[in-house]
Homo-oligomer: A and B are copies of this chain.
Amino acid sequence: MRDCAYTRSGLVSDEEKAFLENYNADAYPKPSVTADIVTLTLDEEDHLCVLLIRRKGFPYKGKWALPGGFLAVDKESVTETARRELFEETGVENAALKQLYTFSDPGRDPRMHVVSVAYTALVPKCKLQARAGDDAEAAMVFRIAYDIDGMTFRSGSLIVTESDLAFDHAKILRMAIKRLRGRISYEPDAFWLLRDRHEFAISELKAVYECIRNEKMDVGNFRKVFFRDFLNTGRVVALEKKRAGKKKPASLYDYIENLQDED
């Protein structure tokens, strides 16, 4: 009998125990389940970037794909799969990982029926470069550019188009960006894209918003909503320090992680 809260509860009758012992879990065919991670970050010039890996084997050999991997059955949830894979690919442990959508068309993988639970990971600026550089042929961070109906991905001189992406990953990526755009105005996602969300200036946060929303914002108005929505509500606290920079030093702030984050 499997070990889980239900079977440990002591409320399982002998009849039910027998049922569970004899249950044939493999009576019906099952699909494979994977987690695919849309790892978004910003580069030095505040451009939205995505982490892609180059496929070394069939299918879609040589094409670029979202990092991901198969669920370890009986051992983890798909969220844990995603967190594990994200760490393996990028070394990033502390990222905002949110479930995006589950894709399950039977034909999305030529090998077999694969149900993919897609996640969006928001990774702080620069945190990504290091590990990706270790094995440039395998994992790279691409700057996302928008063309006439379609995206292109640039990393140095390398240019990749949407049709160079494996599986339905272009669709997944489009959905992730669209969702991020929609969420940014009412969720504190932007903080996770800061270089350091525990020591940042208002102008840095503003830059993140501007690059996601793709529009310049007014300084004064941005401050007003920042104070109202974040500082006054306690999501952000002011630090004593000031940033030593080239110009007038800016006040620094610290984002307080929200513990009771809903699923």
Copy total for this chain: 2
Any B CB within 8 A of the CB of A58: yes
- The secondary-structure label for the interface of chain A is loop
With a 10 A CB-CB cut-off, give which of A4, A57, A109 has the most chain B CB atoms: A4
Structural contact, B73 and A16, CB atoms closer than 8 A: no
Structural contact, A77 and B104, CB atoms closer than 8 A: yes
Structural contact, A20 and B71, CB atoms closer than 8 A: no
Tell me the complex Cα distance, A14–B2, Å.
44
Residues of chain B contacted by A60 (CB below 8 angstroms): 6
Residues of chain B contacted by A28 (CB below 8 angstroms): 32, 70, 73
Structural contact, A20 and B111, CB atoms closer than 8 A: yes
Closest to A171 in B: B263
Structural contact, B112 and A33, CB atoms closer than 8 A: no
> What bracket does the count of chain A residues touching chain B fall in?
35 or more
Any B CB within 8 A of the CB of A245: no
A263 CB → nearest B CB, Å: 7
Structural contact, A75 and B110, CB atoms closer than 8 A: no
Structural contact, B2 and A115, CB atoms closer than 8 A: no
Binding site for B on A (CB under 8 A): 1-7, 12, 15-16, 19-20, 23, 25, 28-33, 57-61, 70-71, 73-79, 99, 101-102, 104-113, 115, 117, 175, 178, 262-263
